Structure 1
Amino acid sequence: MNKHFLSTSIALLLCLGACAQGQNTVKNKTAVKFSASIDKTNAYKHLSVLASDEYEGRETGKKGAWMAADYIKNYFKSIGLKGPVQGDYFQPIDMVTYKLTQSVFTIDGNARENDKDFVIPAANVSLQGFTFNAKEVVFAGYGLDTEGYNDYAGIDVAGKVVMIFASGNPSMKEEAAPADRAARRKAMSAKREKLQYLANHKALAVIQIDPAVDTLNEEMKVMLAGSGQLSLKSEENTARMAKVKTFPTINISTSTANDILKAAGTTVEALQQQISSTGKPATQMINIAVSGSAQKEEVKVRAENVLGFLEGSDPVLKKEILVITGHYDHIGLTVSGTDKVNNGADDDGSGTTGVLLIADAFAKAKQAGKGPKRSILFMTVVGEEKGLLGSEWYSEHPVLPLENTITNLNIDMIGRVDKEHENKQDYVYIIGSDMLSSDLNAAGINANEQYLNMNLDMKYNNRTDPNQFYYRSDHYNFAKHGIPVIFYFNGVHEDYHQPGDEVSKINFDLLARRAQLVYYTAWDLANRKTRPIVDKNEDGTPKK
């Protein structure tokens, strides 16, 4: 072989390799051009409206959420996106709640006042309702059956109304409010176990002595009663609810409990002290008649996802869809404090704003004849705060085929900084990017390296994260169907789900940069030759 030819060939190969590597860091000038409108000024324009007091915290099923939906719909229409739901931008969701139409509790035939003397948790009322009558009550202390202490020793609770303390323990150590999500779940689990014990042993009903009923405000009434809880309406859910066996439960105030205990010549305080001082149960029969009944009905709730569609330019690739999401709902109003509006500027007004900014950039590109090859669905979903309901509905009733959906890029909280990054704020948490597709993960990283060079923090990018962030936003309803996802997130802060989550605390420069990252990633995904390969199963194992 000719030495000169060999040297020239090697040089050419080296050059080609270097050029190929260099292409990964060369910015696409067209993409950069149309990113210009993703800036802090436009971000403020949208978020100052969506997170204003006028929108009342955008709670699903309430006026503020409907106002937000209308704002987003009108904006999608104004920038030229199409309504993909039979020509409309709203995807109606069959969402319902259940409210109690009857709540009755009597002592010796005398009716007590609902939401003052007692509360009936709606979750413990079946669709058929309940009614019970008894001539006596079994007081069973803390309702515990543990090693060395058993409130039910020697007692058969079958067919009886049982009264217990809703919380607490025999040692009477003061119980602090659970400090975190895990502790709250544990406390709730312990309460459910006590009720389950009585249900399993065929008790007629349970009366819980609950100090929270002593000082009920409107917020506590809703929380204790559990009314207003939303769910998706479907034949499957209706059939499931009809089969659910509920256990009649009534929570009563301390004074109402004392009215019952008067028949036994004692009080709540006396019994607590007796159990605490002796370390032994004070279980006893109380000769007093009680009755209770409850009925509930289904109520339809107005809720809709808002969809804007941008058709791709390639005659073949336009059948494939990239979905970009953010949830526009938040948690609404509170009755306590001087500031009663949970504005949700960061959660998730910032993500919704990001979707609007990215939609505008792509719409401008299409109007200039530079639109993406694949189609893009911009979707702001409702009901995220109620259990990812809007995205669940879409995933079960897709407007565009899921098999043609190549990726979901989900934006949930991109306007603030958490404590871990106070000194180095140019970051964003990336979650889920490599859970199903190493190809998608590489695309997200490459887009960042090409255009922004932010810190992509992968701290929460795993299934074993105690916070379970991978499962807590709308991307998961795509991931569970095998669609690769990336979740963009700034982490929690002191104003998370508090009225302090205000527009004034948003870092708009940072919001815009994070939205640009999503945009550049979307630009690549919408224009590349092949869709991201799904090479992992839902449990993370490689696909065979």
Structure 2
Amino acid sequence: MGQDQDPIQQKYATEINPESARRHLSILASAEYEGRGTGELGGEKAAAYIAAEFKRLGLTAPVEGSYFQPVKLVRTRFDVKEFAIAGQSFRNGKDFYFVGGGPETHIQAKDIVFIGYGISEDKYDDLKGIDIEGKVVLVLSEGEPKDSKGNSLITGTDTPSDWATSNTKRLQNITSKKPELIIAVSNTLKESLARFGYRLTQPRIALDEGKSQVTHTAPVVTIGKDMANLLFAKTGTSVDKLSAKIDATQKSQSGVYKVDLNTSFGSKTEPFTSNNVLGYLEGTGLKDELLVITAHYDHEGNQNGVIFFGADDNGSGTTGVLEIARAFAKAKSEGHGPRRSILFMAVTAEEKGLLGSNYYSRHPVFPLENTVVNLNTDMIGRIDDKHLNGNHNYVHAIGSDKLSSELKAINEKANATYTQLELDYMYDDPKDPMRIYYRSDQYNFAKHGIPVIFYFSGLHPDYHTPADTVDKIHFELLCKRARLAFHTAWEIANRDQRLVVDSNKE
């Protein structure tokens, strides 16, 4: 074991134990809590459970006497009432998918403008001399025109142009010309619907900024080749014939085609609230300074009758916060409370875009300038693919030196002394393609100049699937990772000097 252990600190660290952790997580990730969806009953049950636990531990309710900070959100449902081609009806999320916003709109189209690949270049232009404002347009959403050798007409080589490789370029080009509706023909529709179909039809959740959420860009409906050919049925052509003709002539085949299309769609926005859950432990001599220890308690909820349990993401981190809170509460009750105050916070709507922590950072209950650190636990209960065949005794400690050189040193010393985990810094690489540092709640503290550590055990095949269940959690490791956060918090809460903010490695 480490050389200079503090027996008092060590005593309270052992309060963080696998039996207690298992009790919490078995409830939070149970079928009864239905995946803790934001704005769903299961999410509210989880918030109530955490608040009851904070109360039982004797933590103060800091939001005007409540443990709940209501986060004002809006839910925008995009509803496709009808989508019919030649009298045949199709269903959003099953036969096609629709991305849009704005007020209820009804379109009865007798003709549409075919605009090829939606490309505008000197060498090849699908939109030259064509006015599509207020019209329904049909675009091929993949690929680009080729010459007889199979080279891109735009680049002149076998390297595709950015029209073909960018996900957004052709849509931005078309949208800028203000059509009423964009119909995109995709060869990968079946795969997209299988992967995202349910999600694509779900309401969007955002912070309620008090202004209307209506967007005025043209809605996009993505259909497969079969539906596109049905649309062209009267005209004697097809998608394949048109794209073959573009390649054969090396010219755009844009033009107006007679169709029979009937559709109604539009957005409805409703406000609702979901709670951050806050428990406050007052410090002694330096009580105006604050540590914030966070985890998000929400997950993906119940989707079409399938529960996304979210045991690791982030039942594990929430359990970690409850365990750390119990250790500090017991220390305080026995006369060993921290010098600085600690706010334990379980935040909502992380899965919707870090919304709960964003809301707290804009409406802090304690001044941000007095907040010395945020330690965040998000997914601390599993072994990731990288470590599966190697050392299981590890944790990713992300962002520890981005704003404070001292913080990384304190965390490393706490680890060497008490927990002896392998500290993996792979996600601190500024070139990390996953951008993990920006994807959990600590980022909403870091962007205000508050030093942070994000404790994370990494991604695994059950991430964001219904298979993220309690039976796969390593409770001994979960507790060890939570103990590291506890020891680091103990040092920061009790040292004479406030943590320095002396670097910016963003």
How far does residue 276 in structure 1 lie from its aligned partner after superposition? 6.3
Q: In the alignment, does 2:468 pair up with 1:501?
A: yes
Helix, strand or coil at the partner of 1:266: coil
Tell which deviates more after alignment, 474-483 or 491-500: 491-500
Contact 2:90 2:96 in 1 (8 A): no
| Alpha-carbon distance between aligned partners in 1 of 2:271 and 2:461, rounded to the nearest angstrom | 35
Contact 2:142 2:187 in 1 (8 A): no
How many residues are matched?
490
How far does residue 486 in structure 1 lie from its aligned partner after superposition? 0.7
C-alpha offsets along residues 77-113 of structure 1, whole Å, 9 cap, x if unaligned? 11111111111111111011112356444657x5845
| Alpha-carbon distance between aligned partners in 2 of 1:496 and 1:344, rounded to the nearest angstrom | 8
C-alpha offsets along residues 332-352 of structure 1, whole Å, 9 cap, x if unaligned? 23449xxx3322111111111
Tell which deviates more after alignment, 71-80 or 473-482: 71-80
Q: 2:417 maps to what in 1? A: 450
| Alpha-carbon distance between aligned partners in 2 of 1:187 and 1:429, rounded to the nearest angstrom | 38
Contact 2:94 2:197 in 1 (8 A): no
Q: In the alignment, does 2:384 pair up with 1:418?
A: yes
Q: 1:481 maps to what in 2? A: 448
Contact 1:427 1:456 in 2 (8 A): yes
Q: 2:21 aligns with which of 35, 43, 46?
A: 43
Helix, strand or coil at the partner of 1:460: helix
C-alpha offsets along residues 405-459 of structure 1, whole Å, 9 cap, x if unaligned? 1100001111111232232111111111111111222211111122122211112
Q: 2:237 maps to what in 1? A: 266
Tell which deviates more after alignment, 394-403 or 97-106: 97-106
Code of the residue aligned with 2:379 in structure 1: it is M
Helix, strand or coil at the partner of 2:487: helix
Q: 1:395 maps to what in 2? A: 361
Code of the residue aligned with 2:169 in structure 1: it is E
| Cα separation, partners in 2 of 1:451 and 1:300, compared to 1, 3 Å | same
How far does residue 282 in structure 1 lie from its aligned partner after superposition? 3.9
Gaps in structure 1 of 5+ consecutive residues: 1-23, 173-185
Contact 2:372 2:450 in 1 (8 A): yes
Contact 2:109 2:136 in 1 (8 A): yes
Matches within 5 A, 1:265-304: 265-272=236-243, 274=245, 281-288=252-259, 290=261, 292-304=263-275
Q: In the alignment, does 2:200 pair up with 1:233?
A: no
Helix, strand or coil at the partner of 2:35: helix
Tell which deviates more after alignment, 55-64 or 71-80: 55-64
Contact 1:167 1:191 in 2 (8 A): no
Tell which deviates more after alignment, 359-368 or 410-419: 410-419
| Cα separation, partners in 2 of 1:104 and 1:254, compared to 1, 3 Å | same
Matches within 5 A, 1:47-446: 47-100=25-78, 103-105=81-83, 112-115=89-92, 121-122=98-99, 124-126=100-102, 128-132=103-107, 134-145=109-120, 149-153=124-128, 155-170=130-145, 190-210=166-186, 220-225=196-201, 227-235=202-210, 238=211, 241=213, 244-252=215-223, 254-272=225-243, 274=245, 281-288=252-259, 290=261, 292-314=263-285, 317-335=286-304, 340-422=306-388, 423-446=390-413
Code of the residue aligned with 1:163 in structure 2: it is L
Give 1 or 2: higher helix fraction: 1
Helix, strand or coil at the partner of 2:386: helix
Looking at CA atoms only, which structure, 1 or 2, has the larger radius of gyration?
1
Code of the residue aligned with 2:417 in structure 1: it is Q
| Cα separation, partners in 2 of 1:472 and 1:215, compared to 1, 3 Å | closer
Gaps in structure 2 of 5+ consecutive residues: 148-161
| Cα separation, partners in 2 of 1:215 and 1:536, compared to 1, 3 Å | closer
Code of the residue aligned with 2:185 in structure 1: it is I
TM-score (norm 1): 0.82
Q: 2:457 maps to what in 1? A: 490
| Alpha-carbon distance between aligned partners in 1 of 2:459 and 2:85, rounded to the nearest angstrom | 47
| Alpha-carbon distance between aligned partners in 1 of 2:393 and 2:253, rounded to the nearest angstrom | 60
Contact 2:163 2:169 in 1 (8 A): no
| Cα separation, partners in 2 of 1:214 and 1:472, compared to 1, 3 Å | closer
Helix, strand or coil at the partner of 1:319: strand
| Alpha-carbon distance between aligned partners in 2 of 1:141 and 1:467, rounded to the nearest angstrom | 34
| Cα separation, partners in 2 of 1:169 and 1:103, compared to 1, 3 Å | farther
Give 1 or 2: higher strand fraction: 2
